[in-house]
Chains A and B, each alone.
Chain A
Amino acid sequence: MLSHTGIPTAEDIEAVLPPEELRASRRLAVFECFQDIPCDPCAAACPYGAIASFDDINDRPRVEAEKCIGCAKCVSQCPGLAIFVVEEHYSAQEALVVIPYEYLPVPKRNDIVAGLDREGVEVCRARVVKVKNAVAQDRTRLLWLAVPSALAHVVRNIRVEA
């Protein structure tokens, strides 16, 4: 259970996934935010208005997936680093996962790194498709990762081997 281990359960994840029909065709943000905490910067982070403004700062984000284009602008704005962007069908065999990354060393484009699940266990090799470190991200780098399709909703971290 998440509150005992820090690992969201399959049910937790299922509850925050965007609608299946949109996921099949688009790149979409996934908000792995499971607790009512006083925090609302995400609501102001979306340039497309996909994140509804909060009635109560303790609410969890309400996302209108139809408006999300998967731009990943929100990812670096979440103080909890709980937002990811996923494209289930990036290529025939690959999904794309965008993660926030605040560790060193920072991988480079085309590097092959260990893809880790929510327990930090290596589940695949992941290819770094893009690394972004814009000023607006305030030092939270974003990594675009190509991972096996089946792991689109599994890979949430990486390890860079020396």
Chain B
Amino acid sequence: MRTPEILVVGAGPAGLSAADAAGSLGAEVVLVDRSEAAGGQLVKQTHMFFGSKNQFAATRGIDIATKLTAQVVENSRVEMLLGTTVLGYYPDGVILAERDGRLLKFEPQRLIVATGAAEKSLPFPGNDLPGVYGAGAVQTLMNVHGVQPGDRVVMLGAGNIGLIVSYQLLQAGVPVAAIVEAAPTIGGYLVHASKIRRAGVPIYTSHTVKKAYGAEALEGVVIEAVDEHCQPVPGTEKDLAADVLCVAVGLTPLTELLFQAGCDMRYISQLGGHVAWRNDDLETSVPGIYVAGDVSGVEEASSAMVEGNLAGVCAAASLGYGGGRNGNESEPLRLAYLEQLRELRCGPMGAKTRDGICSLTS
């Protein structure tokens, strides 16, 4: 049995930030992640990030992963265990993990869950054909393994992920036939949309996929317009030849551990699905269990990093580090991170998150 003061699950932007923030205040931290490389989804992000300098704005995601990982490696209070998959949270507060075929048991004083999110899927005829991918898989093939996913792609979803993966496909020399979005407007940042549009890729808003077809594998996709009630408009079908259909229709928090731990879970559609109730300091209804990043509500990597910092500082302060709760060292940090979150979310793009958090905590 290992008994670190703080166990952080997930070494993406939130978990790396949480481990570093807690360790920097002096807490003894173990950070685990099932992958062999730290950084979570950041390692697939070749584009420059938004936000402000505090969240590494204008730096490419992959370079942010390197920077955050280096901070954690240099932090003598943090031990990072990669290739370590958390299997479950047991009623006595023990967390079981697997590493190299061996079981590891943890009984930490504080737990920070930063497990991120999983991709949503969409039901339509032909969605089980080879060639129908989640956007994350396409990014993994291209940007992690250097494998071209196909020769012509239809992208489903004009949120930031759909737009960015389309851009990355174009950069890799893979033509994108179209971006198809059921909503009447583009959900992602319009600067991303314009960047892809001026490369000649049409964006069909108020359109959805009717079916994917092919004998052995995907050969094409039929799309059609939808009206304001999301009902198909007859006679608007377009047949697009493609060997890849990339599904980028949103993410949902990966909350299994929080359910197992008995956290008060609520369904909040604006946050992507079930999330744990938490206070401003990101502590859930189970004392000592914190959340940070997409698992607390699907958002951007910039806010995931700030949430990680906030949860790390609050968990460490609750153990007496940084002068304890309201301490000289911990409190200014806590307030600064709360202010950064407020700034990131105060604009029109933050409305969904603000509404979601409001419903969650009211």
> Which residues of A are interface residues toward B (Cβ below 8 A)?
2-8, 32-41, 44-45, 56-58, 77-82, 102-104, 116-121, 138-140, 156-157
Contact = CB atoms under 8 A, between A and B. Distances in A.
Contacts, number: 133
Interface stretch (B21-29, B42-50, B71-79): B42-50
A138 B48 contact: yes
B190 A2 contact: yes
Contact of A120 (B173, B185, B198, B349): B198
A40 B203 CA distance: 27
Contacts of B349: 35-38, 58
A7 to B, nearest CB: 5
Given A39-B51, A121-B200, A138-B60, A6 B343 contact: no
A62 to B, nearest CB: 15
Range of interface residues on B (Cβ < 8 Å): 35 or more
Contacts of B205: 4-5
Contacts of A104: 171, 173
B180 to A, nearest CB: 13
B285 to A, nearest CB: 29
Nearest to A32: B194
A32 to B, nearest CB: 7
A25 B82 CA distance: 58
B242 interface: no
B344 to A, nearest CB: 5
Given A6-B193, A6-B194, A138-B60, A120 B344 contact: no
B136 interface: no
19 contacts: A4-B185, A5-B197, A6-B197, A35-B189, A35-B191, A38-B302, A38-B347, A38-B349, A40-B51, A58-B349, A80-B194, A80-B195, A102-B171, A103-B171, A118-B198, A121-B200, A138-B48, A138-B59, A156-B198
Contacts of B232: none
Which secondary structure dominates where chain A touches chain B? loop
B190 A58 contact: no
B196 A39 contact: no
Nearest to A102: B171
A117 to B, nearest CB: 7
B200 A77 contact: no
A4 B194 CA distance: 11
A119 B52 CA distance: 30
Contact of A81 (B51, B195, B197, B302): B195
Interface in B93-149: none
Count chain A CB atoms within 10 A of each CB in B57, B170, B191, B192 and give the residue with the most: B191
Given A57-B343, A79-B57, A82-B195, 6 more contacts: A6-B193, A6-B203, A7-B197, A40-B51, A41-B53, A57-B52
Contacts of A44: 53
A80 B346 contact: no
A68 B191 CA distance: 22
Nearest to B168: A102
Count chain A CB atoms within 10 A of each CB in B171, B189, B302 and give the residue with the most: B189
Interface string B161-197: 0000000001101000000000011100111111111
Contact of A40 (B52, B194, B199): B52
A32 B49 CA distance: 18
B347 A37 contact: yes
B48 A140 contact: yes
A82 B191 contact: yes
Contacts of B195: 80-82
B226 to A, nearest CB: 13
A58 B50 contact: no
Contacts of B191: 32-33, 35, 37, 78-82
Given A37-B349, A38-B343, A41-B57, A3 B190 contact: yes
